[in-house]
Amino acid sequence: MEELKRATGDYSCDNLIGAGSYGSVYRGVLSSGESVAIKVFRVSNSERAERSFIRECKSLGKVRHRNLLKIISACSSTDFKALVLPLMANGSLDRHLQGDQPLSLQRRFSILCDVAQGLRYLHHDCSPQIVHCDLKPQNVLLDEDMTAYVADFGIARLFGPTDDSANTSSALKGTVGYIPPEYGFGGLISTKGDVYSYGILMLEVITQKQPTDDMFTGELTLSQWVSMIIPRVLENCSQTIPLDDIYDTNEEFQRALKHSTLEDLIQLGLWCIDKVPNNRPSMQQVENTLAEMSHTIHHNHHNLTNI
């Protein structure tokens, strides 16, 4: 505990990176010289904070994947609990979506692929299976190379032989705007809930419109707005989202690439947020679809440059 206190300058406000319902995250430098993020849980006055700490330890302690944030170490006593995590040089995804420098289409596509791969591992390759329950841009972190990591497993659910998560209701787990509709009616937590949240995140990455934007009032939602005016959304995104320099040599190719990629991503996002959970794809299907899109993009670019 003393090491963490020293590393953060006694949890100085100058080192505060962010704060949430159950605790705060500080930037720190360990005695080894390693820069880290230290997540301190408010366990002294919150039973939920302690449960959140336990869930993060159980979840992140079991996963090994390049797109899931790992735990470097944990510190736990009766009245103090903290996690030491890698410090992400480029912060959270939401900061970049709301920033002045728009992410390129290739970068957005790459981030969406990274998140899909992390979720696919949780849903299909992890034992016990893990449902994140709170996927949103604030919980997607970016390292110095802009590789994306799914983070914050504080309300995640593990589905294994000795775990009873599969028999518990959702109780509206998650963040408003990203919670699947079935959770609002007491539906059971499932991987399809994560798929819904991923679909909302995908539409937000494309449109840079948050699901809680003031424009979405009454029954109008982000998904409804996108589905109603797809041509206008495509036109606007094509004008505001830049391409990487590698594609700047041919203006006609730029327009075609933007239009086809954006349209395919929007359609995939709308598939993920189908109101009926069983109609949504699995994250394996999402990852496969993105891989096919990536292959098509590179194939077309290769053919164009060899004309």
Angle between helices 105-120 and 251-272 in degrees, nearest 10: 30
The tokens for 217 are 């009032």
Give the distance, in angstroms, between the CA of residue 76 and the centroid of all CA atoms in the same chain: 27
At residue 41's C-alpha, the angle toward residues 36 and 46, to 5°, is 175
Q: How does DSSP classify residue 72?
A: S
Residue 134 is a catalytic residue: yes
Contacts of 239 (CB under 8 A, 6+ apart): none
The single residue of 14, 100, 114, 134 carrying the catalytic annotation is: 134
The Cα–Cα gap between 142 and 160 comes to 30
Q: Which helix (H) or strand (E) holds 157?
A: strand 157-159
Q: How does DSSP classify residue 165?
A: G
Active-site annotation, residues: 134
